[in-house]
Amino acid sequence: MLNKLKHSLNVLESVTTSSFSAWRGCLVVKAARQPEKPLVLYDIEACPFCRRAREALTALHLDVEIRPCPKGGRQYLAQAEALGGKQQFPLLHDQNTGEVIYESDAIVEYLFRQYGQCSVPRYYQPRPWQPVLGMAGSGASELRGTRARLARNPEQGLHLWSFEGSPFSRLVRERLCELEIPYTLHNLGKEHWSEVGPARQRIKPGPYRPRPGGKRDAFFQAHGRVQVPYLEDPNTGEALFESARILRYLEITYGQ
């Protein structure tokens, strides 16, 4: 019972984090074509500047390889420094163009220009108050996803279906970051206003059917529903919905 209450409290904290971010990273602005080679983001989940980069990736429906770089980490900090010359995050590596980019504003501008083939939408443009609200959002989630913990390293990276503004998905991303587990982040943002709301209580009444031909439609065809977070672990064959179940699984399988 205590664990359930704690989890519910963490969900409420995560809702607050999304609220401070004005719920960016929920709706798809423009579905970009996935590049031939994966984008790689060296990332700290709780960092508000990294959050801005992930919001843009959701807005463009782009998948990305996440290399967690929490404070005290041992897995990817040196790799990030060797690539870009310093330990500063977010750091985006586009293997298709060879671009290595620091600074959230520059990353957001690059993603929309390169893959959205458009300027940065007004909703995603930088504002002077965003760093303050971003830090407040991170504080609301108790700065989870900031510091590394001892963990067992998987042989293969995991796969997480998520979108940035999802409070439930954030809890899983926080744990993956703390455990320094690399993963492919499959962005599954909402493709239409009628999809706004929780998976079981969307604004539009009646049975849910995603827009044909999109990423959500493909997910629906595979799983019979569209709900995040959804985790697949190729190391064990496990496939899980529900944030609480996924968190338990990560602790049992990789936590120390």
Where along the chain do its domains lie? 2-22+32-193+209-254
Q: How far apart are CA 114 and CA 77, in angstroms?
A: 26
Q: Rounded to an integer, what distance in angstroms lies between the CA atom of residue 159 and that of residue 146?
A: 21
Positive or negative, the CA dihedral 223, 52, 94, 71 is negative
Lowest-pLDDT choice from 95-104, 116-125, 202-211: 202-211
> Which own/partner contact pairs does 194-200 have at CB distance under 8 Å and 24+ positions apart?
195/226, 196/26, 196/27, 199/225, 199/226, 199/227, 199/228
Determine the pLDDT at residue 207. Answer: 80
115 has a pLDDT exceeding 80: yes
Say how far apart CA 49 and CA 88 lie, in whole Å.
10
pLDDT of residue 1: 67
Q: What's the rounded mean pLDDT across residues 71-91?
A: 96
User: Average pLDDT, stretch 35-60?
Assistant: 98
pTM of the complete model: 0.95
Q: How far apart are CA 105 and CA 58, in angstroms?
A: 15
240-248: average pLDDT? 97
pLDDT band at 203 (very low <50, low <70, confident <90, very high): low
- pLDDT band at 124, cuts 50/70/90? very high
User: If you classify domain 2-22+32-193+209-254 with CATH, what class do you get?
Assistant: alpha beta
Buried b (16+ CB within 10 A) or exposed e, 31-51: bbeeeeebbbbbbbbbbbbbb
Instruction: State residue 200's pLDDT score.
Output: 63
CB atoms within 10 A of CB 251: 14
Pick 225 or 193 by higher pLDDT: 225
pLDDT, residue 192, reads 82
Given pLDDT bands bounded at 50, 70 and 90, which one contains residue 161? very high
State the average pLDDT for the chain. 94
Q: Is the pLDDT of residue 121 over 70?
A: yes
Summarize the confidence of residues 86-111 as an average pLDDT: 98
Q: What is d(CA 95, CA 87) in angstroms, rounded to the nearest whole number?
A: 19
Comparison of pLDDT for 240 and 205, the residue scoring more:
240
- What gap in Å lies between CA 90 and CA 220, rounded to an integer? 31
Confidence band for 202, pLDDT divided at 50, 70 and 90: low
Residue 199 pLDDT exceeds 70: no
